[in-house]
C-alpha cells in the first residue's frame, strides 16, 4: 500500500482496516510539522481567496492609536453579533444600515431602544440587539468609551459577549493569540482531525477549543481565525465540500481515510471475500469519539460523516390568534392600526405587535377562536366589536429555532366608540401604516400585514353552477350537471345525461321538452365542432402568414450605420501616416547651458533635455542617465560649440526618428522592417512573465532556487520604472524531468576539458522541446518566458556555439517574441541537492534583464550610435542605476510605443473597413460602431496630447485607441452569421416548410368547400 499524502499512514491504515474506525486519543493530536504546515497553507490561501465584499473586514494598521482601535473593535463586535445564526449575505445590508445610524459606540449608547429594535427587525434573535445596546452603554458610561483589549475582559465585562465573540474581537482587532470556535470551525477541525463525537457535548466542545487554541499563531492571529471560518464557509461546507480546493487537504484525516478506503477497495477489501477477512487487531480506546456498532460499508467512508450528526429536537407547535384592528377617523384620512408592546423579557422582547392571543389548544376551531379573541380584545383593550366588520384572512407560519408558530389572522374594521378605549401610550398605541412598517415588529407579523394588503387588492369571483335544463330537479340529473370534471366537453356532458336517463327509465320519465333540448344541443355541438375546425385551420395559417415575415426579418444581417461607419473610417484615416510629421508630432527640445548652471536646474520633463558645456583639454560627451548630458570642449568659441553640438545632438537625441519612420514604413512596406522590431513583442498593456527552472534529471540532483528574492532584488525596480508603459505579472515554476528531444554534440579537446554543445541551427528545436514542459497559462495577454536550463550530469558541461563555431561566454540566447534561455551547468561542488541562492542568480538575472529589455523594445543607445561619432570626440554613457533603464531610454520607449499603437490602430481600422466592405453578410452591431468611434476619438487625442508636449497623456490615449480598435475587429458577433447568407435560407428551410404546407393547403381548401356548401343549402332553404 502506498503512502497517502503527507500524513503518516500507520494510524490511518489501522483505523480504516478496523472497519469501525478504531483509534486512540493520540489519533487527534496535532504534530509540530502539521501545525506549521497548516498555518502557512491556510494563511496563504486566505490572502488569495478571502471574500472582500464584507464591509467590516479591513486590514489593520500597527500605527493605529487606542481610539482608532476602539472604533475598529466596535465594528467587529457589531458584525460578529449580527453573524450569529445569520448568513453573511443577509447581514451586509443590516450592517451598513446599522453603521449609518450608529457610526460610533457613543451613538449606539445614546440611542433609543425603539430605534435599535427597528433597525434590527428581520434579523431574528432580537435579544442580541438589546444586549448590544446595553453593552454600548456600559462601555461609554463605565469603561471610558473603549472596549477591553483582551478576550478575558471582553467576556467578563461586556453583556452578551461570549467566548467566541470575545476571541474574534481580541484576535482580529488587538492581535491577541486566542482562538475562535463557531459552527464553521467545528466542522473544519472535526474533519481535519477525524473527530466523530457529539459537537454539542461539553467535553467535545472543549476539545475543539483546545485544538483551535494550539493552532493560532502569535503573528496574524486574526487572519488565521478568519481563515478557519472562511474555510468552513467557502470550502469545507456541510453537504458538498470542495476537497480539491482545500489548502489543508494533505493533512486532513477524514479525506485520507477516504483515500485509503478507496485503495483498499481496489484490492477487494470490501467485497464478499474481503468481508470474511480478519480485521485489523486493534481496539477503540478514544475517549472522545463514538464507537461504531457495525462495520462500515465502502460508501460510508466519506468526509461528510464528520462532525457527528445529532438528531435535533423538533420544534414545538404553538398557535396564536392575531387581530389586525383598523379604524378610520374620516373618509379621506389614513386608517390607523392598533399595536401593543411585548414584555421586555422572553421571546421577541420589547417588539411591537398586533393584538395576539396565545391559544391553549392546537385544535381550536374557528368559532371557538373568534369567541376567545373577542373576549380577549374586550378585556385587554376594552373594545366593543358589535358594530365592526370582521374578515378571516387565513394563517401564516413562522419558524423560530425551537418553535413552529402558526398565526391565525383576522382583520377587524373597527366602528365602535373610540372614547372608551383605554390607551397606554407606552404599551399600546394607534399608528398609521407608514409608521407601522417602520416599527420594530416581528417577521411573522410582517407576513400577516402582507396577507392583509394582498386581501385588500385581490378580486374574488364567486363560483356559479351552470344550469342547462329549466325545471329539472331530479337528484341524479343535478349531479350529472354540477359535477362536470375539468377538461370534459359539453358533448361529453350530454352523453352522460342521456346514458343516465336510460338507466333511470324505470323510476322517471324524461319529458319531451328535455329530449328535444338534448337533440338540439347535439346539433349545436356539431356546428360548434365545425367552427372549432375552422378556427384551428385559421390559427395555423395565421402562424404561417405572420411568422414567415417575422422569421425572415429576424434572420437578416444587422449593420449599425454600415455605410457611414465605413466611409468615416476611410476618410479619417486617409493618408494619416503619410502626412504624419515625426519631428513635428514628437517635438524634442535641447537646451544648452554652461557647466556652472547645472546645479540650479531641476530635472527636465519628457522631450526636454539639457546639455551643459565646459572647457576641457579633450573633446568628449558624457550622456547622463537622466535628461542631462555634459559636453567637454577645448575651444569655447560660439562657432566651435555650435559645430560640436551639431555633431553630437542628432545621434543622441534624434536617432529615434529613424525608428519611428521605420514603424510607419512597416505599415506601408513590409520590407523596411529591421531586426530589432522583429525581436520586440507587440505592445500590450500587460505581459505574463514566467521564470522556469528546468532540471533535466532530478534523480541525480534535486534543484531549487530563490527566485522570489532574486526578482525582488534585481528586477523589481526595472518593472516599476516601465510600469508606466506596461504592467508585468510574475510567475515561477520548477520543471523536473525536462529532457530535450535533441542530443547535443560532444567536443573532445586535447589537454583541455571536454564539453557538449549546440549549434545555432539547433536552438529553435531546443525551444520547441522545452515548450512541451512549460506549465500552460490561459491568458489573453502575451507570455514572456525565461528559462534557466540545468542539463544532466551526463551532458555537462553544456555550451552554445556562435555562428563561427566558438562557445559563447554566457551560454544564453534570445528567441524573438518568445523569451530568453540561459544554460547553467550544475556546480561541481553539488552532490544530491542544490539551491541557486539569490547571489548565484545575480548574473543570470542580469542576462534575463538584458533579454527583457530587448523583448519590450528598449534598445541600447550606446551600441547603436557609438560608431556615428568622429574619432576625436570621445563619447561615454552613464550606466543606468539599479533600475536597469536610463531616463532617456524610458523616454524613447514611451515615444516608440505611442507611435506603434497609432500605427496598429490605423492598420486595424482600415482592415475592419475593408473586411466589412468585402463580406456583405458580416454582422456589425451597435456596440462595434461605438468602439470604432471611441477609437477614432482617442486617436485624435494622441495628436492633441503631443501638440501640448504631454507624452504620458499621448501614451494613455494610444493604449486606449489600439485596445478599442482590436476589440472592435475581433468582436465575436461579427462572424455569427458570416456563413449564413440569404440563399442558404431557401436551401435549409424549404425541405421543412414544403411538407408542412401541403396538409395546411388541403385543410384550407376543404374548409372553403364546406363554407360554399353551407351557403348553397341556406339559399335553397330560403
Q: What does the pLDDT read at residue 671?
A: 42
Assess if residue 720 is contained within a domain.
yes
SS3 (DSSP) at 874: strand
pLDDT computed for residue 422 by the predictor: 53
pLDDT of residue 866: 62
The count of residues in the chain is 1022
CA distances from 287 to 1, 23, 191, 632 (A): 29, 10, 17, 90
> Does residue 679 lie in a domain region?
no
Same domain, residue pair 845 and 704: yes
Q: Residue 945 and residue 639: Cα distance in Å, rounded?
A: 36
Nearest by Cα to 959 from 682, 572, 604, 689: 682
For residues 437 and 325, state if they share a domain: yes
The 3-state DSSP class for residue 551 equals helix
Same domain? 104 vs 161: yes
What's 106's domain CATH number? 1.10.340.30
Under 8 Å between Cβ of 179 and 212: yes
d(CA 646, CA 590): 11
Given a contact cutoff of 8 angstroms between Cβ atoms, the answer to whether 3 and 266 are in contact is no
Are 369 and 516 found together in one domain? no
Residues 524 and 601 in one domain: no
Asked if residues 696 and 791 have their Cβ atoms less than 8 Å apart, the reply is: yes
Cβ pair 848, 822 in contact under 8 A: yes
Question: Is there a contact between 582 and 658 (Cβ–Cβ < 8 Å)?
Answer: no
- Between the alpha carbon of residue 901 and those of residues 199, 345, 620, 773, 895, the distances in Å are 63, 72, 37, 34, 10
Alpha-carbon gap, residue 111 to 213, rounded angstroms: 37
453 and 477 co-located in one domain? no
Residue 413 φ/ψ region, left for φ over 0, alpha for ψ in the -120 to 50 degree band, beta for the rest: beta
Instruction: In whole angstroms, give the CA distance from residue 140 to residue 137.
Output: 5
Global model pTM greater than 0.85? no
Q: Are 216 and 265 in contact (CB under 8 A)?
A: no
Distances (CA, A) of 796 to 824, 827, 833: 9, 10, 16
Residue 109 belongs to some domain of the structure: yes
Tell me, yes or no, whether 969 lies in a domain. no
pLDDT for 590:
64
**820, 847 in Cβ contact below 8 A?**
yes
Apex 537 CA angle, 532 and 538, nearest 5 = 95
Looking at the structure, do residues 736 and 784 belong to the same domain, yes or no?
yes
Contact 293, 31 (CB under 8 A): no
Question: 653 and 782, same structural domain?
Answer: no
* Displacement of CA 729 from its chain's centroid (Å): 20
Cis peptide before 797 (omega within 30 of 0): yes
User: Number of folded domains in the chain?
Assistant: 7
Residue 997 and residue 797: Cα distance in Å, rounded? 81
**CATH number assigned to the domain comprising residue 401:** 3.90.79.10
Confidence at residue 379, expressed as pLDDT on a 0 to 100 scale = 77
CA distance 217 to 130: 34
Cell of 1012: 360554399
Q: Where is the domain boundary, 457, 492, 522?
A: 457
* Domain of 518, in residue numbers: 463-542
Residues designated as active site: 80
Tell me, yes or no, whether 75 and 164 share the same domain.
Answer: yes
Q: Which residues contact 812 (CB under 8 A, 6 or more apart)?
A: 800, 820, 821, 822, 823, 847, 851
Pairing mode of beta strands 812-815, 798-800 = unpaired
**What pLDDT is stored for residue 339 in this prediction?**
77
Please check whether residue 962 lies inside any domain of the structure: no
* Residue from 387, 353, 390, 388 nearest 370 by CA: 390
Per the CB < 8 A criterion, the answer to whether 338 and 418 are in contact is no
List Cα–Cα distances, 675 to 292, 655, 728, 862, 986, in angstroms.
Answer: 75, 16, 24, 17, 53
Q: Which three cell numbers stand for residue 7?
A: 500524513
**Look-up: residue for cell 547553467?**
824
* Residues 101, 557: Cα–Cα separation, whole Å: 55
Query: Could you tell me where the beta strands, DSSP code E, fall in 236-355?
Result: 316-327, 336-341, 352-353
Residue segments in the chain with a per-residue pLDDT below the cut of 50: 1-9, 273-274, 276-281, 419-420, 459-523, 577-584, 666-673
Instruction: With respect to residue 56, please indicate whether it lies within any of the assigned structural domains.
Output: no
The last residue of one of the domains, among 457, 476, 498, is 457
Interacting residues of 170 by C-beta distance below 8 A, sequence separation 6+: 149, 150, 151, 154, 176, 178
CA distances from 1003 to 537, 723, 996 (A): 7, 75, 12
Among candidate residues 835, 856, 877, the one where a domain is terminated: 856
Angstrom distance (rounded) from CA 446 to CA 440: 10
For residue 746, count other CB atoms closer than 10 A to its CB.
Answer: 10
User: Would you call 803 exposed, middle or buried from its count of C-beta atoms within 10 A (0-12, 13-18, 19+)?
Assistant: exposed
Distant-in-sequence, close-in-space partners of 584: CB < 8 Å, separation ≥ 6: none
| Domain identity same for 803 and 694 | yes
Burial class (CB in 10 A: 0-12, 13-18, 19+), 386: exposed
Give the strand pairing for 686-695 and 727-736: parallel
Alpha carbon 676 to its chain's center: 41
Judgement on whether residues 20 and 90 belong to the same structural domain of the protein: no
Residue-wise burial string across 623-659, b where 16 or more C-beta atoms lie within 10 A, e elsewhere: bbbebbbbbbbeeeeeeebeebbeebbebbbeebeeb
- Residue ranges with strand state E in 289-442: 316-327, 336-341, 352-353, 356-358, 389-399, 403-413, 428-432
Domain-located, residue 526 = yes
∠ CA 111-114-119 to the nearest 5 degrees?
85
Angle (nearest 5°) at CA 977 between 565 and 561: 15
Q: Identify the pLDDT of residue 489.
A: 43
CB 892 within 8 A of CB 656: yes
- Residue 114: CB atoms within 10 Å: 14
- Establish if 552 belongs to a structural domain: no
Write down the pLDDT at residue 185.
Answer: 92
Residue 224, pLDDT score: 92
Q: How far apart are CA 659 and CA 479, in angstroms?
A: 100
CB under 8 A, 24+ apart: contacts of 610-614: 611/645, 611/649, 613/641
Within 10 angstroms of residue 971's Cβ, the number of other Cβ atoms is 17
**For position 17, which CATH number holds?**
1.10.1670.10
Query: CB atoms < 10 A from the CB of 290, how many?
Result: 12
686, containing H or E segment: strand 686-695
- What span, in angstroms and rounded, lies between the C-alpha atoms of 170 and 153? 10
Rounded distance between C-alpha atoms, residue 435 and residue 603, angstroms: 67
Same domain, 634 and 503: no
Amino acid at each position: 500500500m502506498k503512502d497517502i499524502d503527507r500524513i503518516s499512514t500507520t494510524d490511518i491504515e489501522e483505523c480504516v482496516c478496523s472497519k469501525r474506525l478504531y483509534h486512540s486519543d493520540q489519533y487527534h493530536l496535532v504534530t509540530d510539522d502539521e501545525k506549521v504546515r497548516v498555518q502557512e497553507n491556510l494563511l496563504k490561501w486566505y490572502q488569495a481567496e478571502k471574500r472582500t465584499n464584507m464591509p467590516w473586514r479591513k486590514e489593520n494598521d500597527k500605527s493605529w492609536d487606542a481610539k482608532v482601535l476602539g472604533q475598529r473593535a466596535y465594528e467587529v463586535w457589531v458584525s460578529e453579533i449580527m453573524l450569529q445564526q445569520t448568513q453573511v449575505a443577509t447581514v451586509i445590508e443590516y450592517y451598513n444600515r446599522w453603521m449609518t445610524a450608529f457610526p460610533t459606540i457613543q451613538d449606539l449608547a445614546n440611542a433609543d431602544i425603539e430605534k435599535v429594535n427597528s433597525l434590527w427587525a428581520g434579523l431574528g434573535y432580537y435579544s442580541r440587539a438589546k444586549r448590544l445596546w446595553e453593552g454600548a452603554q456600559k462601555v461609554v458610561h463605565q469603561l471610558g468609551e473603549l472596549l477591553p483589549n483582551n478576550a478575558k475582559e471582553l467576556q467578563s465585562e461586556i453583556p452578551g459577549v461570549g467566548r467566541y465573540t470575545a476571541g474574534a474581537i481580541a484576535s482580529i482587532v488587538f492581535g491577541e493569540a486566542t482562538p475562535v470556535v463557531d459552527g464553521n470551525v467545528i466542522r473544519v477541525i472535526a474533519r481535519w482531525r477525524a473527530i466523530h463525537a457529539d459537537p454539542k457535548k461539553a467535553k467535545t466542545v472543549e476539545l475543539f477549543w483546545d485544538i483551535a487554541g494550539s493552532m493560532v499563531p502569535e503573528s496574524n492571529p486574526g487572519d488565521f481565525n478568519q481563515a478557519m471560518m472562511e474555510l468552513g464557509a467557502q470550502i469545507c461546507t456541510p453537504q458538498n465540500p470542495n476537497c480539491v480546493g482545500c489548502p489543508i487537504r494533505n493533512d486532513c484525516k477524514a479525506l485520507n481515510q477516504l483515500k485509503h478506503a478507496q485503495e483498499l477497495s481496489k484490492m477487494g477489501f470490501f467485497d464478499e471475500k474481503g468481508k470474511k477477512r480478519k480485521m485489523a487487531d486493534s481496539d477503540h480506546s478514544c475517549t472522545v469519539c463514538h464507537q461504531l456498532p457495525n462495520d462500515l460499508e465502502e460508501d460510508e467512508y466519506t468526509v461528510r460523516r464528520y462532525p457527528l450528526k445529532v438528531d435535533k429536537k423538533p420544534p414545538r407547535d404553538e398557535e396564536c390568534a392575531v387581530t389586525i384592528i383598523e379604524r378610520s377617523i374620516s373618509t379621506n384620512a389614513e386608517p390607523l392600526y392598533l399595536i401593543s408592546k411585548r414584555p421586555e423579557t422572553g421571546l421577541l422582547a420589547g417588539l411591537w405587535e398586533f393584538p395576539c392571543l396565545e391559544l391553549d389548544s392546537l385544535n381550536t376551531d374557528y368559532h371557538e377562536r373568534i369567541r376567545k379573541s373577542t373576549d380577549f380584545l374586550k378585556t385587554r383593550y376594552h373594545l366593543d366589536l358589535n358594530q365592526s366588520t370582521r374578515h378571516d384572512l387565513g394563517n401564516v407560519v413562522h419558524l423560530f429555532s425551537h418553535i413552529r408558530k402558526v398565526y391565525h389572522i383576522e382583520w377587524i374594521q373597527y366602528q365602535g366608540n373610540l372614547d372608551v378605549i383605554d390607551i397606554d401610550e407606552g404599551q399600546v398605541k394607534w399608528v398609521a401604516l407608514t409608521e407601522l412598517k417602520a416599527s420594530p415588529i416581528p417577521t411573522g407579523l410582517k407576513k400577516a400585514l402582507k396577507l392583509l394588503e394582498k386581501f385588500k387588492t385581490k378580486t374574488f369571483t364567486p363560483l356559479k353552477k351552470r344550469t342547462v335544463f329549466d325545471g329539472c330537479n331530479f337528484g341524479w340529473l343535478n349531479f350529472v350537471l354540477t359535477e362536470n370534471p375539468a377538461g370534459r366537453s359539453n358533448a361529453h356532458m350530454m352523453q352522460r345525461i342521456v346514458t343516465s336517463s336510460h338507466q333511470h327509465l324505470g323510476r322517471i320519465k324524461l319529458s319531451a321538452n328535455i329530449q328535444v333540448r338534448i337533440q338540439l344541443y347535439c346539433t349545436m355541438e356539431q356546428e360548434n365542432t365545425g367552427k372549432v375546425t375552422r378556427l384551428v385551420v385559421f390559427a395555423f395559417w395565421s402562424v404561417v402568414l405572420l411568422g414567415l415575415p417575422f422569421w425572415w426579418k429576424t434572420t437578416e444581417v444587422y449593420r449599425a450605420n454600415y455605410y457611414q461607419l465605413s466611409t468615416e473610417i476611410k476618410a479619417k484615416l486617409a493618408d494619416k501616416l503619410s502626412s504624419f510629421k515625426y519631428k513635428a508630432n514628437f517635438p524634442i527640445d535641447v537646451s544648452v547651458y554652461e557647466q556652472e548652471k547645472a546645479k540650479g536646474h531641476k530635472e527636465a520633463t519628457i522631450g526636454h533635455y539639457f546639455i551643459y558645456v565646459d572647457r576641457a583639454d579633450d573633446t568628449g560627451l558624457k550622456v547622463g542617465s537622466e535628461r542631462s548630458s555634459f559636453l567637454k570642449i577645448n575651444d569655447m568659441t560660439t562657432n566651435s560649440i555650435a559645430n560640436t553640438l551639431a555633431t553630437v545632438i542628432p545621434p543622441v537625441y534624434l536617432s529615434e526618428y529613424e525608428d519611428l519612420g521605420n514603424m510607419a514604413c512597416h505599415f506601408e512596406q513590409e520590407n523596411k522592417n529591421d531586426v530589432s522590431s522583429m525581436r520586440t513583442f507587440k505592445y500590450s498593456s500587460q505581459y505574463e512573465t514566467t521564470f522556469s527552472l528546468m532540471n533535466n534529471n532530478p534523480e541525480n540532483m534535486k534543484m531549487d532556487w530563490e527566485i522570489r528574492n532574486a526578482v525582488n532584488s534585481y528586477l523589481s525596480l526595472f518593472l516599476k520604472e516601465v510600469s508606466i508603459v506596461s504592467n508585468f505579472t510574475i510567475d515561477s515554476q520548477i520543471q523536473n524531468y525536462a529532457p530535450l528531444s535533441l542530443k547535443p554534440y560532444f567536443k573532445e579537446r586535447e589537454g583541455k576539458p571536454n564539453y557538449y554543445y549546440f549549434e545555432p541551427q539547433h536552438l529553435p528545436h531546443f525551444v520547441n522541446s522545452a515548450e512541451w514542459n512549460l506549465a500552460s497559462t490561459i491568458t489573453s495577454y502575451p507570455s514572456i518566458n525565461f528559462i534557466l536550463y540545468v542539463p544532466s550530469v551526463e551532458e555537462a558541461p553544456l555550451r552554445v556555439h556562435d555562428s563561427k563555431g566558438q562557445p559563447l561566454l554566457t551560454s544564453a540566447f534570445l528567441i524573438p517574441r518568445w523569451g530568453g534561455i540561459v544554460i547553467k551547468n550544475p556546480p561541481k561542488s553539488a552532490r544530491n541537492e542544490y539551491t541557486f541562492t539569490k547571489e548565484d542568480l545575480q548574473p543570470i538575472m542580469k542576462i534575463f534583464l538584458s533579454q527583457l529589455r530587448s523583448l519590450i523594445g528598449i534598445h541600447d543607445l550606446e551600441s547603436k550610435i557609438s560608431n556615428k561619432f568622429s574619432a576625436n570626440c570621445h563619447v561615454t554613457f552613464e550606466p543606468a542605476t539599479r533600475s536597469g533603464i536610463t531616463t532617456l531610454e524610458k523616454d524613447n520607449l514611451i515615444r516608440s510605443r505611442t507611435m506603434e499603437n497609432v500605427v496598429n490602430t490605423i492598420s486595424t481600422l482600415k482592415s475592419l473597413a475593408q473586411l466589412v466592405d468585402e463580406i456583405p453578410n458580416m454582422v456589425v452591431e451597435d456596440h462595434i460602431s461605438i468602439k470604432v468611434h471611441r477609437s477614432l476619438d482617442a486617436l485624435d487625442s494622441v495628436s492633441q496630447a503631443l501638440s501640448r508636449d504631454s507624452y504620458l497623456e499621448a501614451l494613455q490615449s494610444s493604449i486606449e485607441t489600439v485596445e478599442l480598435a482590436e476589440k472592435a475587429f475581433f468582436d465575436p458577433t461579427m462572424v455569427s452569421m458570416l456563413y449564413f447568407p440569404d440563399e442558404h435560407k431557401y436551401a435549409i428551410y424549404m425541405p421543412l416548410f414544403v411538407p408542412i404546407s401541403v396538409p395546411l393547403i388541403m385543410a384550407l381548401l376543404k374548409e372553403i368547400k364546406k363554407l360554399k356548401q353551407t351557403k348553397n343549402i341556406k339559399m335553397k332553404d330560403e
